[in-house]
Amino acid sequence: MRRLIYSMTVSLDGFIAGPDGAIDWSVPAEELFRFHTQRVQETGVQLCGRRLYETMLYWETAQESALPEEHLEFAQIWKALPKIVFSTTLESVAGSNTRLAREGVGEEVARLKEQPGKDIAVGGAGLARACMKLGLIDEWRLFVSPVLLGGGTPYFPPGDETINLELVETQTFGARVVYLRYRPVSNDLLRVG
């Protein structure tokens, strides 16, 4: 069964965008960019909220620009990746292998999880929040950047229940960004331990 993975760059104080929506602080250095390219290559479907979709539209035409080879490689991988954009405000979407979904996040994710293939990624705080409320996230991947934003869009939404997680991987990159990969711990494991 495919897993649903929520992965974003996050400030040390827990935000994926600043109070004004700025994400310029999260631009990855070369080493981290290569790591992100690898992760996208290991993804079977990308679920996007409207804002992430609009941000990532850049990569649909990036090959027309004079860019470093690793950026052109990412653009090629991104264009080939199937993408589903969840939005109630967009009338249509552009881009390669991209389709619009207006509702039914739970049903869509359940259907995708049952299909064979690579894992599913979810990006964007609002969409990830909806997936978390439905208990659909199988793994959280945070790229913690050494910056304090003081406010903005939180990586983790306020929740009504405790979700116990276990750390399954960590890595530090040259730019001092720390990668943390967590998955949920079942309640049965908590009772035994």
pLDDT at residue 184 greater than cutoff 90 = yes
Q: How does pLDDT run across 92-126, given as a tens digit for each residue?
A: 999 889 999 987 999 999 999 999 999 999 998 89
Instruction: Classify domain 4-158 at the CATH topology level.
Output: Dihydrofolate Reductase, subunit A (3.40.430)
Q: How does pLDDT run across 122-166, given as a tens digit for each residue?
A: 998 899 999 999 999 999 999 999 999 999 999 998 877 888 999
Helix (H, G, I), strand (E, B) or coil at 181: strand
Q: Which of 149, 162, 155 is nearest to 127 (CA)?
A: 155
DSSP letter for 149, please: -
pTM, two decimals, is: 0.90
Give the other-Cβ count within 10 Å of 51's Cβ: 18
